[in-house]
Amino acid sequence: MLILTPKLTCDKLPPDMLPIYNLETAKQTILRRTAPDLQEVPPEILDRIESLFGERLNPTQAVRRILEDVRAHQDEALRRWTERLDGVSSHELRVPDSDIRQALQNLPERTRQALREAARRIEEFHRHQPLHSWLMQGKEGTLGQLVRPLRRVGIYVPGGSAPLPSTVLMTAIPARVAGVTQIAMVTPPSRTSGGIHPVTLAAAAIAGVDEVYAVGGAQAVAALAYGTESIPAVDKIVGPGNLFVTLAKQQVYGTVGIDGLAGPTETMIIADETANPEWIAADLLAQAEHDFLASAILLTPSVEVAKAVQIQVVRQMEGDHRFAALSRERILEKSLKNQSGIILIQDLEQAIEVANQFAPEHLALAVAHPWQWVEKIHSAGAIFVGEQSYEVLGDYIAGPSHVLPTGGTARFASSLSCLDFVHVVGLVALRPESSRKLAPLAAEIAYQEGLDGHAHAALRRQT
């Protein structure tokens, strides 16, 4: 590993808090993807599972036990697991509508205005997505596709370390625009109050959520998938969550639809010599503060920019003349050292190649002429074009949903959108003469497949 240490000395944090790598070393470390089923589970998680179940289970086995329990015992199991995992007992699962309305009413005006403007922009963006049915009518008859909204969906909103009203907006609003009839939201109750943070409830009111339930984790996913006395089953579950939520979504897939399997959040920034090191450092820190496994990576051909960003990372973590020290220092230290870094590359062409191979959740272009590179990017959850289009705006207010593919799945997956909340139904309405004309051809293909019943069903209409 190539680490370039700037001259800055620091009493509290090491100057190389964000390491600098050459490309070959980075490919073996921070750029290396590990398949989900091969990832090591931290011992503290295994210890926690053992304390709950009385035996050494892996997370997949533990989640299966919870799902089976909720499926069999419904609300009773929900309350029991919420008490064991979240420390909240004897609570009502559904949040009264009056509490949701009151939360919006009591919200500070400044916060209410910010959430309403974010909601407006998210709705406006998603109303541009094509969701139209179409029919092709001709002499043979009519063929077409009917786009139908899902009837009932569940959105999962994390709430363990902090309230996430933005996730409420980014999941519920696309569903509402798509025409979903019923939107049910689940989110973990607070350990201290036993309820849901008021700003989360206010966001639910703004987004048009129909039902809110104070339950989280794998047990909430089970309730949405199988239904309980209090929570009717849904057609699809969307939204990010921790390891146990993700495993639960994976295991209930088929009973319900899911949007995808969320992994740790990640960002990649491509910067040239014109980039602002202070802004780049701020963007990297904004991503790295999410959790211990967050990944924040900078690609640049400029050693000067790399060193300047490295210095800025330390300064901003400790606080400078404009802003106080960042509050999530312990999370930042781990995420920056373990999954993040600055990678020195030859040129921007190579940076684009690396980015396409890595397929990051977020890809920012902090370069002099960003638009000339956009067409060359084919694997990213979202692209942020230019330094004024920074990722934090995408997280909260720009318009597209911030629920994005992670873990390299941006090679084939897309951001959450209205398309996740509809299904397409094919339509066939042929005229009798066209049906007779096509029957022998269909029968021939059926015979080749050894399906004589299919062939006969076509040929019987010839007589």
**Proportion of the chain in helix, strand, coil states, percent, rounded to 5:** 45, 15, 40
143: left (phi over 0), alpha (psi -120 to 50) or beta: beta
Q: Round to whole Å and give the CA distance between 283 and 279.
A: 6
Residue 244 backbone dihedrals phi, psi, to 5 degrees: -75, -35
Q: Round to whole Å and give the CA distance between 94 and 148.
A: 28
Cβ atoms within 10 A of the Cβ of 43, count?
A: 8
- The DSSP secondary-structure symbol of 4 reads P
| Partners of residue 430 on adjacent β-strands | 141
| Partners of residue 363 on adjacent β-strands | 268, 383
Token couple for 27 = 């490919």
Q: What is the longest distance spanned by two Cα atoms in the chain?
A: 92
Residue 116 backbone dihedrals phi, psi, to 5 degrees: -65, -40
Active site residues: 361-362
Whether residue 296 contacts residue 331, with contact meaning beta carbons closer than 8 Å, is answered with: no
Whether residue 360 contacts residue 381, with contact meaning beta carbons closer than 8 Å, is answered with: yes
User: Which H or E element spans position 344?
Assistant: strand 341-344
| Partners of residue 186 on adjacent β-strands | 156, 213
Residues in contact with 331: Cβ distance below 8 Å, sequence separation at least 6, in sequence order: 288, 289, 290, 291, 292, 294
The dihedral formed by the CA atoms of 298, 299, 303 and 306, expressed in degrees to the nearest 10? -10
Task: Sheet with 382-385: list strands edge to edge.
Answer: 20-22, 341-344, 295-300, 266-271, 362-366, 382-385
Token couple for 185 = 């939201």
Q: Identify which of 355, 240, 242, 335 has the alpha carbon closest to the alpha carbon of residue 287.
A: 335
Q: Identify which of 177, 10, 204 has the alpha carbon closest to the alpha carbon of residue 103.
A: 204
Cβ atoms within 10 A of the Cβ of 145, count?
A: 14
Report how far apart, in Å, the C-alpha atoms of 463 and of each of 443, 445, 452, 459 are. 14, 19, 17, 8
